[in-house]
Amino acid sequence: TGGITTIDPGYKNTGSCQSAITFLDGEKGILRYRGYSIEELAEKADFLETAYLLIFGELPTKEQLAKFDSDIKSESHVDEDMKKILDGFPKSAHPMGVLSALTSALIAFNPSTVNVDSEEEMYNAIVKLLAKFPVLAAWAMRKKKSQPLDYGDNSLGYVENFHKMMFSKPNEAYTVDKEIIAAIDKLLILHADHEQNCSTSTVRIVGSSHAGLFASISAGISALWGPLHGGANQAVIEMLEAIKNDGGDTKKYMAKAKDKQDPFRLMGFGHRVYKNFDPRAKIIKVAADEVLGQLGIQDPVLDIAKGLEKEALEDPYFVDRKLYPNVDFYSGIIYRALDIPVEMFTVMFALGRLPGWIAQWREMRLNKEPIGRPRQVYTGENLRAFKEVSER
Ligand code: SDX
């Protein structure tokens, strides 16, 4: 067994690193980025300054933020040949697969981002990725909707420019309600980091081989895609739609979620760390009411979600297992109200989590962490001699 006698499936009780970026208290439902509460940042910060805070450790001064913004804008072009890779995908391709592939393909057009040892080289790779990632994310949606690509407008803010690249119409002037940009900005802040979750651990372990930032983030996107992780926000809406189309019978789905023979899980519920309310879910639930109210949208799916939450919070199966709504439970309801297609929900999560992934990758590299290489408890065959095929 190589000296290892116990294993920790899913690393439920394993600390993988020391980090100064994000603090979580699962019992109390506390989440802080570099010591600032998520509640304050969601109210008072914007996404770009939150990205700066996560990556560099301090809220930026006006000058620092202006330089960060202009450095990013100067890198917002994406090589024209990248379109050939996008064109190669069928329209049916899932945007997360497109985004992961295009992020990896970016390396070929930005070779200086691979072997980065100095902080300056890391900074250059970081601003390139922060600039080009929203372009690729928007391209994934344009592909899905068979629309011509939009190259953005550097006179707009980071989030508004992303929204324009997603929603501009070829023959119309682009306009958008400020509330919509504010809602997306808040959602991206709430998704920005979450210590050593599955996709961040993926970014760290791929980055620990010095494969480079873009390769590490491409791997993180793939990990986030799974329905047990970021993919849950798409699965939640699909579940709520199924309940609505099934006459709104939440009891039937609660029973399915509790039936051990049934693989169905109540998507958007439960969390490895939070054994109390996910603080992000609380903020997003309030924001969902606000955004739908501002847009004058009555979405029956929101009422079903609230009904499901109420039932679960009173159900011993869920209460005993401390299963509460998590970040993915209400976010899709806002994305839907903003006309974001359901297959793009996890792309929205990936854009939000990008600064957190980058911050964690940078910390891992600056701390000169060793390559990730866990051991195992061997349970296979003992030594045995080869047999010729005639003897098998
Ligand atoms: C995210 O880690 C992070 O921080 C992730 C994230 C981030 O910001 O990066 O917060 C984002 O991924 C949020 C989680 C989104 N996923 C879902 O909503 C999918 C549904 N949730 C579950 O699959 C589950 O709760 C997990 C994956 C979130 C957590 O899984 P764990 O910690 O491995 O817990 P478990 O599967 O061992 O479950 C413990 C018990 C089991 O029952 P028993 O075997 O004890 O009888 O709770 C049950 C599970 O069957 N359970 C559920 C359930 N979640 C757990 N039963 C029904 N519905 C659920 N959703």
Question: How far, CA to CA in Å, does 241 sit from each of 152, 247, 249, 304, 333?
Answer: 33, 10, 11, 9, 11
Residue bearing the CA closest to ligand 1, atom 48:
321
Sign of the four-CA dihedral 129, 225, 181, 175: positive
Residue bearing the CA closest to ligand 1, atom 51:
270
In tens, the pLDDT along 241-291 reads 999 999 998 999 999 999 999 999 999 999 999 998 899 999 999 999 999
Sign of the four-CA dihedral 294, 331, 161, 41: positive
In tens, the pLDDT along 150-165 reads 989 999 999 999 999 9
What's the pLDDT score for residue 212?
96
The answer to whether 329 touches 268, Cβ cutoff 8 Å, is yes
If you measure from the C-alpha of residue 230 to the centroid of ligand 1, how many angstroms do you get, rounded to a whole number?
Answer: 12
Mean residue pLDDT across the chain: 96
Q: Letter for the amino acid at 210?
A: H
Output the pTM of the full model.
0.96
The answer to whether 356 touches 22, Cβ cutoff 8 Å, is yes
> Which among 100, 101, 48 has a CA at the least distance from the CA of 73?
48
The preferred substitution site among 23, 30, 228 for testing ligand 1, maximizing ligand atoms within 8 Å of CB, is 228
How many distinct helices (H) and strands (E) make up the chain? 17, 3
If you measure from the C-alpha of residue 9 to the centroid of ligand 1, how many angstroms do you get, rounded to a whole number?
Answer: 14
Taking 60 as the threshold, does the pLDDT of residue 1 lie above it? no
From the list 46, 150, 185, 328, the catalytic residue is 328
In tens, the pLDDT along 284-335 reads 999 999 999 999 999 999 999 999 999 999 999 999 999 999 999 999 999 9
Q: Please compute the mean of the pLDDT values over residues 170-191 and round it to a whole number.
A: 96
**DSSP at 31:** E
E strand or H helix at 32: strand 30-33
User: Atom of ligand 1 at shortest distance to CA of 198?
Assistant: 2
Residue 351 CB neighbour total at 10 angstroms = 25
Instruction: Tell me how far apart the alpha carbons of residues 314 and 316 are, in angstroms, rounded to a whole number.
Output: 7
> Which among 371, 75, 82, 355 has a CA at the least distance from the CA of 211?
371
Instruction: Tell me how far apart the alpha carbons of residues 307 and 249 are, in angstroms, rounded to a whole number.
Output: 10
If you measure from the C-alpha of residue 14 to the centroid of ligand 1, how many angstroms do you get, rounded to a whole number?
Answer: 17
In tens, the pLDDT along 62-74 reads 999 999 999 999 9
The answer to whether 242 touches 300, Cβ cutoff 8 Å, is no
Q: CB within 8 A of 245, min separation 6: which ones?
A: none
What's the pLDDT score for residue 3?
80
User: Atom of ligand 1 at shortest distance to CA of 265?
Assistant: 58
E strand spans, the chain = 22-25, 30-33, 36-37
Categorise residue 58: left if φ over 0, alpha if ψ from -120 to 50, beta otherwise: beta
Instruction: Tell me how far apart the alpha carbons of residues 215 and 69 are, in angstroms, rounded to a whole number.
Output: 24
What residues are in contact with ligand 1 under a 6 Å CB criterion? 10, 194, 197, 228-230, 232, 257, 265-273, 321, 323, 326-328
Is residue 185 part of the annotated active site? The answer reads no
Reported for 245-249, long-range contacts at CB under 8 A and 24+ positions apart, including other chains, are 248/300, 248/304, 248/307
If you measure from the C-alpha of residue 181 to the centroid of ligand 1, how many angstroms do you get, rounded to a whole number?
Answer: 31
The answer to whether 73 touches 86, Cβ cutoff 8 Å, is no
Is residue 271 part of the annotated active site? The answer reads yes
Q: Please compute the mean of the pLDDT values over residues 24-32 and round it to a whole number.
A: 95
SS3 label, residue 33: strand
Residue bearing the CA closest to ligand 1, atom 31:
272
- 58, 62, 67, 73 alpha-carbon torsion, rounded to 10°: 100
Dihedral pair phi/psi, residue 36, rounded to 5°? -95, 135
The answer to whether 48 touches 60, Cβ cutoff 8 Å, is no
The DSSP-derived string for 176-212 is --HHHHHHHHHHHHHTS--SS-HHHHHHHHHHTTT--
Q: Letter for the amino acid at 231?
A: G
The token pair that represents 269 in the structure block: 């519920």
Taking 60 as the threshold, does the pLDDT of residue 372 lie above it? yes
From the list 259, 271, 278, 299, the catalytic residue is 271
If you measure from the C-alpha of residue 109 to the centroid of ligand 1, how many angstroms do you get, rounded to a whole number?
Answer: 39
